[in-house]
Every structure is written in C-alpha cells, then in structure tokens.
Amino acid sequence: MKPLYNFAFFDEGSKREVRRAVLKGIAIPGYQVPFASREMPIARGWGTGGLQITLTLVGRDDVLKVIDQGADESVNAVSIRKLIVGTTGIASTDDTAEATLIQSRHRIPEVPLTKGQTLVLQVPIPEPLRFVEPSEFATKRLHAEKEYSGAYLALFEEIMKYGRVSTGADHPVTVNGRYVMAPSPIPRFDNPKMNDSAALILLGAGREKKIYAVPPYTRVVSLDFEDHPFEVEDMGGKRCSLCGATGVFMDEIHEDSGAVRYQCNDSGFCLSRRGGGKGGEA
Amino acid sequence: MTGSERLESPGPAGGAPMLRVEKLSVRYGQGCPRCLSGDPGSLERNYCPECGAVWALSDVSFEVYPGEVLGIVGESGSGKSTVMNCLYFNLEPTGGRARIGAYDGGSADVFGLSLQEKRHIRNSLLGIVYQNPTNGLKMGFSSIANVAEKLIAAGNRNVGRMEARARDLLGRVSIPSARMKDAPANFSGGMQQRVQIAKALSSNPPVLLLDEVTTGLDLSVQAKVLDLIKGLQRELGISMVLVSHDLGVVRMLADRTVVLLDGRVIETGLTDQILEDPQRPYTQELVHSML
C-alpha cells in the first residue's frame, strides 16, 4: 500500500522542532520547554502532547505500546495506537518488556522499565504551581528563582483540611534537586518509579505547549514535610481477583451484588500473568 | 534641602537606623535633561512638562530607627504606596538606595541585590500589611495556611511547628481558634486585616510595613486594629513604616512623620511637632482639614 502520509504523520520540519524541545528538556531535567504544538487529528487535551513526542521519536524498528489509565484497550489508547501504527507500519504490543516506546496516560507500567526504553507521558497541566499562581509570567519567574513555597503551601493546605496530603494524582516532585515538576496525573503509587529510572521519561502537554523530561538515572523526589513524609496509596491486603497479584496498583470494582473486588489497573501486566507469559512476581 | 527641615530625632533607641532610604526615585517615562537634573523647579507637580515623564517619587530620603514607628502622610497620589511597593520589592525604583540594618549590617544597597536575595529579605526580614487584604492573602486558603506561607517561604518544612506558630499568632490577633482553618474569604474586613497582621509577623520581621491598614474599616474595628499594632510594637519592638492619609492614625502610632507631596518629602519631624506646628503651607492645610 502506498502510504498516504509522510512516515509518522509529521513532516520532517515539524519533527525537528519537537526533537529540539525534547533535547533541551533532557538537558535541563524537569524544566518545561515551550514548543510549537501542532494541530493533530485528535483534539487537544486527548494526548496530543504525548502523541507529538511519540511521532517524532518513532523509528522503523520500534515496538509500540500505548496505555490509557493502565489499559491497552481503552478508546483513547486504541485510537492513538492505530494512528501511530497506521502512519508508520511499526509493530505494537501489550507487553511492557517487549516495547521500546511506551506512550501512557496516567500510569507508569508495573513491570520495571529497562535501559533503552522510552516512556512518553501525556500531561494536561504541566505547571505544578498553577493552582497557587494563575499567571504564567509569574510562575516562570518562580521557577527561575527556585521559589517553590507555593507547591508546599498547597500540600500544607491539604493537611490542614484533611489531616493528610490528599493528592489523588500528580503529586509534585523535585527533579535533580532543581526544578519542581508535575509528574502528570499518575497516582502517587507511581512517583517512586520515576526516581533513578533506567528508562528515559518524556512528558508532553499539547494544549499547554510544553515538553519536559526526566533523563535516565535522575533523582526524583516527591515533595513532603518532615512530619508528613511522602506516602504512596496503600495497596496492602488487596489481591487482584483475576491474576492474584499483590502490591500493584489496583482498581476497586463494585459488583451489582454490592461486593467489592480488586483488579490490576495495569491490564497488560494482568494479562501476561494469566497467560503464563512474562510478568511481575506475585 | 527644604528650609523647613527640623532637627532629626535620633529615634527612641538611638544608634544606627534599621532602615535607611536615600534619594529614592520612581520615574514613569524616559525622562529628559530638564527633569533628570533633579532640580525641584523642573517639574509641574510630579510631571515634566517637557518630556511628559511622571515622577511618582523624587529623591525621597528617610530613616527608621530600631523600635520606631515612622508615619508617611500625604494626599492620594503623593507617592505613599509607591514608597511601600519599592521597599517590599514589588516595584523596582529608577533611582536611590535602601539599607536594612538587619541585612549585612546595613551596608548593602538592597535594591541592587539579586532577585533571590530580595526574596530572602522579603520572606525573613520584612512584613507587610496592605490596605486591601486580597493583595496580601490567598483568600481561598485557610488562615493557618496563609500565616504558614511566609514560614514555608523561609524554609520551614515541619507542619506541626508551623501550625502551632500560626495558631499562636492568630490567637494574638484575636481570631477564634474555631475559625482558624476558615478561609479569609469568609471573614469580615477587620478579621482579614488581622490575619494579614498575623501573617506579616510570622517570620518575626525586624521591619513591618503598614499601608493604609485601617482605611475602609469601621471605627470600632479601626480602634481594635490600631490597639493591636500599638501593643505588638511595644511588646516586640518592631520598626514600622506606617503609610496613612488619616492623621488621627498617624498621631496615635507614629513617633516621627514624613509629609509627602507630589513625590517629594516636604516636611519631616516629630509627629507632635508636625501636627501642632506645621511649617509648610501644604502641611498646614492638611493638618487644618483634620476633622
């Protein structure tokens, strides 16, 4: 079949522009690099930032995995995977270990990422200080001055209100001891996976026109207080009703009968365990 | 120098000033040889007729001694709030120097420092209370968090200690403990002003800037806020700069007073002297228009 598009949809000039931003982001870990976000065949806010990074990085030998909230088969993941595969002809997989390029929304896979893999995260709001400071001019200056009391203030306010830090997702992190970064809306459970990761982590916000990065083996520390140390969601005592896994991030499922059961949020991980294939340990 | 300048009082504690402002100028516009000459006669009020530059402040100098309250009075548009905004680094002056006794022994010009250093001074050595509480507070955050914001900015990372300190300060300014976790947005104007004062005091600053703190409050609340400030000043010995167009407030609080007109200091002296025996025609008018 004669391809209808240039390889990976973009023209080469667009790829170069996005790659420049990616390189700068890798050179300054955690720093939000502005870039000329393109119009995409999906709406802004539906993963265009991640998609643009993926399309500029993908090569003919890459193996692609796309996840949305842990699932390979949700609509958003399927649409993005079809677009990338359709315009490149590369192979795709559900198996984290097999993939070289992983685009994800809101999760980092349970199987530890390895050297040579690249994780691309879709980001809705890249600015960790946006909640306390609405002006972009002001937040740029705060980053320049390493003035992050606003991020701590937001956590302090949660402790005052609820007695503990209640960030459901997107708990801010300090990258390489310098920039405070929004890790995208991954659960707190996934924050520690960013620290000293063997894989390159790239984050793209299409609507907000920002790209930033965590290079491999970079120190990533979640913000906390001396007397309220950072904690991940407690998955203790929960077991996947399908594959029996424990110690992974679970979905809570309420049956019509009123019963509650748990299930791995990372569907690729769960499937591979049930298929007896590659996977984590129970 | 104006002919009406009086003998400088050394201030209650004597010694070196806590805050020394020298030849502070704020100009809007390019300026021209005529107005840049600094000759007082070159401006029409605060406006240069030749180039159209507005001199919000021209060559304003004053000192504040440890434990002293300095009043700055003048009509609206005279540059009072501009002085405050410069001292709190909200506004960069076009000329002049300021030295703070508690920073580097008072030898460094704080306007020439890096943004980081300015932020450090603002967070740990200065406190400010604005006329409009929305400028000084995050109205949607709890009052405790508002007070703690300054502590966090100063590097504190212990929630328990910050909460205790905030509760202590809010108690001092008579915010009932049941309401300390409420947002200032749900408070009356007087309460908001008291939360601002608690926040300004949280880092134990040696210098407190008060910008029209009682304007817009009703009289009984004004009295309470003034009482509070007077009490804190006696107890903690903080140096204060008090900007007001209300001479009653200045009479009650200020040891010395500076009169501003069109961005210039036209008279300085002990508050009682200024109010009982004003020398300049404008000051006389101001004092005589007091109700």
Enter the tokens of residue A255.
């049956």
Tokens 């459970």, residue located = A189
**From the list B144, B152, B157, which residue is nearest A160 (CB)?**
B144
Note whether A178 contacts B: Cβ–Cβ < 8 A. Answer: no
- Which residue type, as a one-letter code, is found at position A206? G
**A221 at B interface, C-beta within 8 A:** no
Predicted confidence at residue B1, as pLDDT, reads 39
Pairing between β-strand A118-122 and β-strand A220-222 as defined by DSSP bridges:
unpaired
Q: In Å, how far from its chain's centre is CA A154?
A: 22
pLDDT value of position B258? 95
Judgement on whether residues A128 and A54 belong to the same structural domain of the protein: yes
Domain final residue pick, A175, A195, A222: A222
Q: Could you tell me if B90 and B74 are in contact, meaning their C-beta atoms sit under 8 angstroms apart?
A: no
Chain A interface disruption, residue of B113, B120, B124, B157, most A CBs within 10 A: B157
Residues of chain B under the 70 pLDDT cut: 1-14, 291
Find out whether A179 and A30 touch, Cβ atoms under 8 Å. Answer: yes
Catalytic residues of A: 30, 240, 243, 264, 270
pLDDT for residue A278 is more than 70: no
pLDDT tens sequence across B214-258: 887 788 878 888 888 888 888 888 999 999 888 888 999 999 999
Domain boundary, last residue among A172, A196, A222:
A222
A251 and A179 in a common domain: no
pLDDT at A177: 95
Chain A residues in contact with B159 by the CB 8 A cut-off are: 156, 159, 225-228
pLDDT at A234 > cutoff 70: yes
pLDDT at residue A93, as a whole number: 95
- The answer to whether position A265 is within a domain reads yes
In single-letter form, the type of residue at position B183 comes to A
Mutate to test the interface with A, among B124, B142, B150, B152 (most CBs of A within 10 A): B152
The reply to whether A218 and A119 lie within a common domain is: yes
A106, A196: one domain: yes
Q: A95-111: per-residue pLDDT in tens?
A: 999 999 999 999 999 99
Residue range of the domain that includes A129: 12-222
Residue A228 within a domain:
no
Note whether A133 and A255 are same-domain residues: no
Among residues A195, A222, A249, which one ends one of the domains?
A222
How many Å lie between the alpha carbon of A204 and the closest alpha carbon of chain B? 29
Chain A residues lying within 8 Å of B158, measured CB to CB: 225-227
Q: Is the pLDDT of residue A276 over 60?
A: no
CATH, residue A51? 3.40.50.11310
A4 in any annotated domain: no
Q: Do B181 and A153 touch (CB under 8 A)?
A: no
Q: Are residues A134 and A262 in the same domain?
A: no
Give residue A245's pLDDT band: very low, low, confident or very high (50, 70, 90): very high
In a domain, A1, yes or no: no
Q: What is the pLDDT of residues B30-55, one digit of tens each?
A: 888 888 887 777 888 888 888 989 99
Does A194 map to a domain?
yes
Beta strands in B101-157, from DSSP E residues, in sequence order: 126-129
User: Same domain for A79 and A157?
Assistant: yes
User: What's the domain count of chain A?
Assistant: 2
Query: Stretch A81-88: mean pLDDT, rounded?
Result: 94
Residues A266 and A156 in one domain: no
Q: Do residue A190 and residue A133 come from a single domain?
A: yes
A227 belongs to a structural domain: no
A170 plus A252 within the same structural domain: no
Q: Is A132 inside any structural domain?
A: yes
Rounded CA separation B267/A277 (Å): 88
Whether the Cβ atoms of residue B94 and residue B26 lie closer than 8 Å to each other: yes
- Is residue A139, in this structure, part of any structural domain at all? yes
CB atoms A157 and B141 under 8 Å:
yes
Backbone dihedral region for residue A155 (phi beyond 0: left; psi -120 to 50: alpha; all else: beta): alpha
Name the nearest CA neighbour of A140 among A66, A31, A258: A31
Neighbours of A282 (CB within 10 A): 12
Q: What is the ipTM of this complex?
A: 0.83
Residues A206, A133 share a domain = yes
Cα–Cα distance, B215 to B196 (Å, whole number)? 14
- A244 lies in the same domain as A134: no
